[in-house]
Amino acid sequence: MAAERETHRGRHWYLWALCILFLLFCLSLGDTALRERPALASDAPEAGESAEDANEPSRPDHSHPAFAERVEERKRMVTRQIEWRQVRDPNVLKAMRIVPRHALMRPGDQRYAYLDRPWSIGEGQTISQPYIVAFMTEALKLDPNSRVLEIGTGSGYQAAVCGEIAREVYSIEIVESLARSAAKKLKKLGYGNVFVKAGDGYYGWPEKAPFDAIIGTAAAVRIPPALIRQLKTGGRMILPVENESGFQYLILLTKDERGKLHKKNVMPVRFVPMTGDVRKPEK
């Protein structure tokens, strides 16, 4: 009987040991998967995970060496290209002096970063002219509590400028390679309050709506209805719209307390076209 009890006890500990080894194996697999998962967000939260899920959004971290590079060039850019054209919002001017535009461009093009012009970033897309970025940001009237939706991440430059002022920025890019590249750069630069995903901006980001401000960085043939729905009462939207003749205008929309839209043509512009379902015939 003693021998049988010893045998039973041995089997009991053997089964427990197998269970523990199996659990350790599962945990190691999960840890590997987390390390290898490609992220489309700029900080700890996954793409699509809001700052509410991660408690408080982190403010931009300016510890990356790029912020200390070419500072005088950015100051001259703001003085000569932006302030000279009557952009006055101090938060926008400060953001434009801070964001290292060169770090969001291709390495071979970085010497052109602070010229008064847009520049190719590949995939038929461009990084916008600094003045246009500043003008559109000022039109949104952002504050530290603003939640912003951007349609067309591109290089990530406009998202970074908004992220310097706003609480959270959610940015959608239809070209997946650009979405991944921008997310990687924004994360490296420390923009923990900017979240990027690949997708068609025509549908916005409904699970994160409503937004205080919406900005489009590609020319649409019409204003997507989903974006109007996702704009908060009292919110502001600015985006380029192309008319039937092919001319583009920046359109500023505001939604009043009754939900009524007020539209204003701001200035003629030239943006790359918005692609995706916006190009399909309207139902």
Alpha carbon of residue 175 to chain centroid: 13
- The residue ranking higher by pLDDT, 36 or 197, is 197
Q: Does residue 37 carry a pLDDT above 70?
A: no
Quote the pLDDT of residue 23.
Answer: 53
Which CATH number, 3.40.50.970, 3.40.50.150, 3.30.70.920, 3.40.250.10, labels domain 40-279? 3.40.50.150
Give the Cα separation of 48 and 171 in Å (integer): 10
Which residue's entry shows tokens 């709506």? 209
Question: What contacts 221, CB < 8 A, 6 or more positions away?
Answer: 241, 242, 274, 278, 279
Tokens encoding 4 = 């049988």
Catalytic positions are: 128
Q: Does residue 51 carry a pLDDT above 90?
A: no
Average pLDDT of the chain to the nearest whole number: 87
Q: How many other β-carbons are positioned within 10 Å of the β-carbon of residue 61?
A: 12
Residues 117/90, Cβ–Cβ less than 8 Å? no
